[in-house]
Amino acid sequence: MASKKIIIIGATSGIGRALASVYAAEGHAVGITGRREALLREITAARPSSYHFTAFDVTDTAVNIAHLEALVATMGGVDTVVISAGGGNTNPSLDFDVERRIIDLNVGAFTQLAGWAFNYFKTQGGGHLAAITSIAGIRGSRQAPGYSASKAYQINYLQGLRQKALKEQLDIAITDICPGFVDTAVAKSPIRFWIVPVAKAARQIYSGLEARRDVVYISRRWRIVGWLYRLLPGWLHKRI
Ligand SMILES: NC(=O)c1ccc[n+]([C@@H]2O[C@H](COP(=O)([O-])OP(=O)(O)OC[C@H]3O[C@@H](n4cnc5c(N)ncnc54)[C@H](OP(=O)(O)O)[C@@H]3O)[C@@H](O)[C@H]2O)c1
């Protein structure tokens, strides 16, 4: 198997960190990012031949691209970009500051990062863009309206890029990684079930990315449940 160059945006903890570890263990070059520079240093120090890093806050859209271009230059190119930086909170009081932080991260920063990766791969003649969305994006959620709406945005944005790549005959794969509940610090939903250990989730994501799948459900049962949830009539959805 040819060695890849993969950048994982948001790899200091959780799913991104576990996925970075799988790629590094498989012998690929891995660029990792996040705000917590000490963690990036610690991860890199454990396997310096595999990792490269840069620390930045993705919601600072004035500096994102410069950081990514510097990382790509250090790595000598990139063929896969995974956006794992994301998150959100339940927001029963609909506090606008909470919703705005979610929008800045899951919509604003995501859009800039995804667009940068797509255009980079277009210029290069191919590549693979993936992002971690959520089952929460399938339908609106009373516990976390901003979070579920932001994940719906990501799901639709990725669909748009997939259609664009095909129509423009670009060799760019777009993968939507759609988890239910993975055992990380961000999983704050009051309703949690079928929780997948983060290492297991990372291995499933790795397999899905290697197969260049359009959508990877974590765990796999969410493919069926998600399909049924989409079909749930509006009159019933609003009562749950
Ligand atoms: N865990 C679940 O059950 C679950 C379910 C569905 C979807 N997801 C999605 O999976 C993705 C990863 O979440 P996770 O569970 O792995 O949570 P996590 O452990 O909190 O990881 C989030 C990663 O994103 C980075 N990040 C967050 N905000 C950032 C910012 N402003 N700038 C730069 N980096 C930032 C964090 O790094 P720093 O803090 O160092 O910046 C961290 O490395 C998220 O998009 C989340 O919505 C998770």
Question: 122 C-alpha to center of ligand 1: Å?
Answer: 27
Q: Is the pLDDT of residue 189 over 80?
A: no
- Dig out the tokens for 160 from the structure: 């748009």
- pLDDT band of residue 198 (cuts 50, 70, 90) is very high
- Mean pLDDT of all residues in the chain? 96
Pocket test for ligand 1, best of 7, 8, 9, 13 (most atoms within 8 A of CB): 13
The predicted structure's pLDDT at residue 2: 76
Burial class (CB in 10 A: 0-12, 13-18, 19+), 75: middle
Where exactly are the structural domains of the chain? 5-237
The predicted structure's pLDDT at residue 185: 82
Query: What residues are in contact with ligand 1 under a 6 Å CB criterion?
Result: 10-16, 34-36, 57-59, 84-87, 105, 132, 134, 179, 181-182, 184-187
Q: Is the pLDDT of residue 158 over 60?
A: yes
Q: Is the pLDDT of residue 190 over 90?
A: no
Closest CA to 3 of 19, 27, 32: 27
- CA-nearest residue for atom 35, ligand 1, is 85
Q: What is the mean pLDDT of residues 186-209?
A: 87
The predicted structure's pLDDT at residue 193: 83
- pLDDT per position as a tens digit, 93-110: 999 999 999 999 999 999
Question: 93 C-alpha to center of ligand 1: Å?
Answer: 23
Q: Which long-range contacts (CB under 8 A, 24 or more apart) does 18-21 make?
A: 18/198, 18/199, 18/201, 18/202, 19/82, 19/84, 19/202, 19/205, 19/206, 20/51, 21/202
- pLDDT per position as a tens digit, 40-50: 999 999 999 99
- CA-nearest residue for atom 41, ligand 1, is 35
Residue 86 Cα: closest atom of ligand 1:
45
- CA-nearest residue for atom 6, ligand 1, is 134
The predicted structure's pLDDT at residue 235: 96
Helix 198-210 and helix 14-25: axis angle, to 10°?
Answer: 60
Question: 64 C-alpha to center of ligand 1: Å?
Answer: 16
Q: What is the mean pLDDT of residues 67-84?
A: 98
Domain 5-237 has CATH 3.40.50.150: no
Left, alpha or beta for 7 (phi > 0: left; psi -120 to 50: alpha)?
Answer: beta
The amino acid present at 51, given as its one-letter code, is: Y
pTM of the model: 0.97
Q: Is the pLDDT of residue 188 over 60?
A: no
Question: 233 C-alpha to center of ligand 1: Å?
Answer: 31
